[in-house]
Structure 1
Amino acid sequence: MYKTALVTGADGFIGSHLVEGLVAEGYKVRAFAYYNSFNSWGWLDTLPQEILKEIEVFTGDIRDPNGVRTALQNIDEVFHLAALIAIPFSYHSPDSYVDTNIKGTLNVLQAARDLATKRVLVTSTSEVYGTAQYVPIDEQHPFQGQSPYSATKIGADRLAESFYRSFAMPITIVRPFNTYGPRQSARAVIPTIITQLLAGKQEIQLGALTPTRDFNFVKDTARGFIEIAKSERTIGEEINIATQEEISIGQLANEIVQQLNPQAKIICEQERLRPEKSEVNRLLGSNAKIKQLTNWAPQYTLAQGIAETISWTRENLDKFKTDIYNI
């Protein structure tokens, strides 16, 4: 008997990869995509036809409780990924982050409770930890809202926890560290570097170069969700998906520059710097818990993931605006 799964944010970067992974696992997938007048299904539009014919696309708005409830009808497991995620955009549009990230999550939780959904996976982010107070960052690390984005994700996580504790709902909070790979938008650092280089720029404009990050290749992240859903031991838990390795943005940029154009120079641009107290200076995640509770382990090295991302971006460069700062 196959399982049915709803993926919110299925039209996005990680969501579209998760849809592919769930179909490969034999799930019957309903993909929740953001309704728009272009009738675009986001990255779902680029999936192979053999995948698309296996999924049901539901267009709606995560902020609308009625549409969310309809989407959750006859669903065994919900993977809730829909969110606004760009940190710079959250500085000038925080209301939209509250509506999407907090109220949207509440809509999923309320509907899942009423419909007795068997598993609910709520997507968090390593940004909820803020700058590391100790490393590797485990799930006991304190939370710190260093941007309106991270504050809304902390709020969504705590709502999910409250529904687990108050109503005994089968909820897991899944916390990926920085994910990268094919289909990521240019507001993120790796595609920013790659697209500028592929566009022939000799000066690569970035924000702060000293912060460190723990980068997951997107296929590893998607598989992390699936492995967490397979285990009953993960219910009621908050679980990092991390490689437990870190690299500075400057070192990362140099690695990509060496692969594409060793003559290019890396420039720290003032416009791209985050406010000093908002910049997260160090993220290095512990993956001890996910390894203890599931069969997950990262399959891609950073070099392998970067190479695959460069190859995909080269074939899809026309989808990026390389001449502006994407926030």
Structure 2
Amino acid sequence: MRAKKVLITGADGFIGSHLTEELVRQGYDVKAFVYYNSFNSWGWLDSSPDQIKNEIEIFAGDIRDPHGVKAAMNGCEIVLHLASLIAIPYSYHSPDTYVDTNIKGTLNVLQAVRDLGISKVVHTSTSEVYGTAKYIPIDEEHPLQGQSPYSASKIGADQMALSFYRSFETPVSIIRPFNTYGPRQSARAVIPTIITQLASGKEKIKLGALSPTRDFNYVKDTVSGFIAVMNNAKSIGEVINIGSNYEVSIGETAEAIAEVMGKKVKIETDEIRLRPEKSEVERLWADNQKARELLGWEPLYGGMDGFKHGLKETADWFMNLKNLSQYKADVYNI
């Protein structure tokens, strides 16, 4: 049996491509909204197995275009909204694009969902909206703090989504993943930065601050979180953290990666990779109790053992020369 028709915005990206593939495997009828470009590239979906690609309906467009967004939703029952600009350093450089893509793009999705009577939309948030933890672990009631233009734009998008739920009873759920990692992640993120430098034979790797902590979430756990939120009616009107409930510093992360790769690591601080002092998020640690109790979701890659298992799978993917060749380990990617 064919399952519900699902539109995934940002399906060409890191998390979106993994989510698209898993939904196809589970029998869903998937329409993938990818960013239009003159190369006819479907992003990471170009790397999907043929048996997956043959089952996907592709819609090329721009999340900033309300007419295209509405057209993409025709015939769909559920929308998983992942399309977003996510690089924090680039948000210092071009904050206006983050307002257009993240806030106005989300508004376009919500308006179309409301107009078309879509049965549910899952909006993607980020742990960055919490800023540096005021208490740990961070639950969904933690204050929101815009410490970068990126996080400020995501706070705006989240609040827009909640306003549609409260004002118009739009069936909105907000998933708030903590730091997702895994195969295909952009080199602007810290784990691929470390892996690609080590895989390229670097004896010394360049990083920014080593003391901040993160709650890393392997992409398979994040994907299962999306599916759990999508399929649970109790998630409507709710904000739900998806995290491992485990905190690890960037320095400890580098050591763990070196261990699973069988490398020695020496770290140099690269000033260009440092965030402005008041913009750095010093500590993130998810309280995932709500996801456990409301959704029955729990991470399969939690704790240090689970983290190293996820790092090993990630490093193995990057060590494949075909995959590694798509990254520029010598260039800082903002």
TM superposition score normalised by structure 2: 0.97
Mapping for residues 118-267 of structure 1, pairs under 5 Å: 118-267=119-268
Unaligned runs of 5+ in 1: none
Q: Does 1:88 align with 2:89?
A: yes
Deviates more, 1:291-300 or 1:216-225: 291-300
Equivalent residue pairs, number? 327
1:253 Cα shift? Answer: 0.3
Contact 1:197 1:261 in 2 (8 A): no
Contact preservation (8 Å) 1:9, 1:32: yes
Q: CA deviation at 1:263?
A: 3.1
Q: Is the Cα contact below 8 Å between 1:177 and 1:242 reproduced in 2?
A: yes
Residue 72 (structure 1) aligns with? 73
- Tell me the CA shift for residue 68 of structure 1: 0.2
Maintained 8 Å contact 2:198/2:263 = no
Amino acid paired to 1:305: G
Task: Give the conservation status (yes or no) of the 8 Å contact 2:215–2:284.
Answer: yes
Pick from 309, 314, 328: which aligns with 1:304? Answer: 309
How many Å separate the matches in 2 of 1:21 and 1:223?
Answer: 9
Aligned to 2:327: 320
* Alpha-carbon distance in structure 1 between the residues aligned to 2:58 and 2:295: 29
Moved more, 290-299 or 275-284: 290-299
Aligned partners of 1:234, 1:124: CA distance in 2, in Å? Answer: 14
| Whole-angstrom CA distance in 1 between matches of 2:307 and 2:260 | 13
What letter is aligned with 1:310?
A
Q: Distance in 2 between matches of 1:234 and 1:291?
A: 12
The Cα offsets for residues 73-112 of structure 1, whole Å up to 9 and x where unpaired, read as 1111000000000000000100000000000000000000
Q: Which residue of 1 aligns with 2:16?
A: 15
- The alpha-carbon deviation at position 57 of structure 1 amounts to 0.7
C-alpha deviation, 1:261, in angstroms: 4.9
Check conservation: 2:254, 2:265, Cα contact below 8 A: no
Counterpart of 1:105?
106
**Residue 295 of structure 1, CA deviation:** 2.2
Aligned-residue offset at 1:26 = 1.6
Contact 1:256 1:306 in 2 (8 A): yes
SS of the aligned residue for 2:277 comes to: coil
* C-alpha distance after superposition, 1:217-270 (max 9, x if no partner): 001101100011111111100000010001000000011122335433011111
Corresponding residue number in structure 2 for 1:268: 269
Q: Specify the code of the residue in structure 2 equivalent to 1:156.
A: A
Q: Residue 173 of structure 1 aligns to a residue in which SS?
A: strand
CA distance in 1, matches of 2:201, 2:63: 39
Distance (whole Å) between structure 2 residues aligned to residue 264 and residue 178 of structure 1: 22
Deviations 1:33-90 (A, max 9, x none): 0001111100000000111111101100000001000001111100000000000000
For the residue of structure 2 that corresponds to 1:277, the secondary structure is helix
Task: Write the deviation string for residues 94-148 of structure 1: whole angstroms up to 9, x where unpaired.
Answer: 0000000000000000000000000100000000000000011000000000000
Amino acid at match of 1:266: I
Question: Take 1:293 and 1:263, find their aligned partners in 2: how far apart are those partners?
Answer: 42
SS at match of 1:6: strand
